[in-house]
Amino acid sequence: MHLSPTHFDRAAGVLLGTAVGDALGVPYEFDRIVLRAGEEAQMLGGGLGNFAPGEWSDDTSMAVAIAEVAATGADLTTDDALDAIAGNCLRWLDDGPPDIGVQTSHVLHATRDRLRTGEQGLGRIMREESQKYADHRPRSAGNGALMRTAPVALAHLDKRDHLAEAARAVASLTHADPLAGDSCVVWCEAIRIAVLDGRFDIRAGLDLLPTERAAQWSRWLDAAATDDPKSFNPNGFTVSALQAAAAAIMQTPVPADTPSEHFQHSLHNAIRIGHDTDTVAAIAGGLLGGRWGAEAIPASWRSDVNGWPTRGDRPSDHQDLVALAAQVRHIIEQ
Cα 48 from Cα 108, distance rounded (Å): 20
CA 123, 124, 127, 132 dihedral sign is negative
pLDDT for position 328: 79
Tell me the per-residue pLDDT of 133-186, one tens digit each, with 9 for 90 and over: 999 998 999 999 999 999 999 999 989 999 999 999 999 999 999 999 999 999
For residue 128, give every residue at least 6 positions away whose Cβ sits within 8 Å of its Cβ, in sequence order, or none. Answer: none
pLDDT for position 63: 98
Tell me the per-residue pLDDT of 202-214, one tens digit each, with 9 for 90 and over: 999 999 999 999 9
Tell me the per-residue pLDDT of 271-311, one tens digit each, with 9 for 90 and over: 999 999 999 999 999 999 999 999 999 999 999 999 999 99
Cα 189 from Cα 152, distance rounded (Å): 10
For residue 147, give every residue at least 6 positions away whose Cβ sits within 8 Å of its Cβ, in sequence order, or none. Answer: 58, 59, 62, 63, 241, 279, 282, 283
Instruction: Show contacts of 327-330: CB within 8 Å, 24+ apart.
Output: 327/71, 327/72, 328/11, 328/67, 328/70, 328/71, 328/151, 328/154, 328/155, 329/3, 329/7, 329/8, 329/11
pLDDT for position 125: 98
Q: What is the CATH number of the domain that holds 262?
A: 1.10.4080.10
Of 293, 272, 271, nearest in space to 282 by CA: 271
Task: Provide φ and ψ at 51, rounded to 5°.
Answer: -70, 155
Tell me the per-residue pLDDT of 53-75, one tens digit each, with 9 for 90 and over: 999 999 999 999 999 999 999 99
Of 234, 239, 245, nearest in space to 284 by CA: 245
Alpha-carbon Rg of the chain, whole angstroms?
18
Number of domains in the chain: 1
pLDDT for position 330: 67
pLDDT for position 254: 98
Cβ contact 59:279 at 8 Å: yes
Tell me the per-residue pLDDT of 223-246, one tens digit each, with 9 for 90 and over: 999 999 999 999 999 999 999 999
pLDDT for position 334: 63
Cα 115 from Cα 125, distance rounded (Å): 8
pLDDT for position 32: 86
Task: Provide φ and ψ at 308, rounded to 5°.
Answer: -70, 145
Average pLDDT, the chain: 96
Give the domain extent around 100.
Answer: 5-333
Q: What is the helix (H) or strand (E) element at residue 94, kind and residue range?
A: helix 79-94
Share of the chain above pLDDT 90, in %: 93
Residue 333 has pLDDT above 70, yes or no: no
